[in-house]
Amino acid sequence: MTNPGLYADLHQQMRELADLVDRVLVGLRDAEVENANRNKLAQTLSDLAEPNPDDLSIRLLAISLGSGQGNRQKWRQISEALRGVQPNPAVFDDLEQFAQLLEQRQADALAKMRGWM
């Protein structure tokens, strides 16, 4: 895969994940107790939190998002909170920060895809 193709795929993954985060935030604000989107996001964050994920697309996404120990720990905490019956209100802030990180990394991937970086 060419570099533009790699970044296009990465950009698409981040966009889909950002959409999922948005749907989960809306669901949490509407006080939905059980939600398939919430479970899917919790699993994705759990996968991202693994030091060496088996899924190469998850591994690339984690590297692109900054898979340092601090981020992995935060992603694991958010995942566990989302799996709880009533998530802690701090989860909203954590998800908002994660959404901002995704937005920044999407812009970076788009710039690299277009050869601007």
DSSP track, the chain: --HHHHHHHHHHHHHHHHHHHHHHHHHHHTT-SS-HHHHHHHHHHHHHHSSS-SSHHHHHHHHHH---HHHHHHHHHHHHHHHSSS--THHHHHHHHHHHHHHHHHHHHHHHHTT--
Quote the domain boundaries for residue 22. 3-113
Structure tokens at 15: 């966009």
Q: How distant is the alpha carbon of residue 28 from its chain centre?
A: 16
What total of structural domains would you count in the chain?
Answer: 1
Helix axes 36-49, 56-65, angle to 10 degrees: 80
Query: What pLDDT is stored for residue 117 in this prediction?
Result: 59
Residue-by-residue pLDDT tens, the chain, 117 positions:
457 677 788 889 999 999 999 999 998 888 776 689 999 999 999 999 998 888 999 999 999 998 788 899 999 999 999 998 777 888 999 999 999 999 999 888 888 777 765
What is the C-alpha to C-alpha distance for residues 67 and 39, in angstroms, rounded to an integer? 21
Query: What pLDDT is stored for residue 1 in this prediction?
Result: 44
pTM value is 0.86
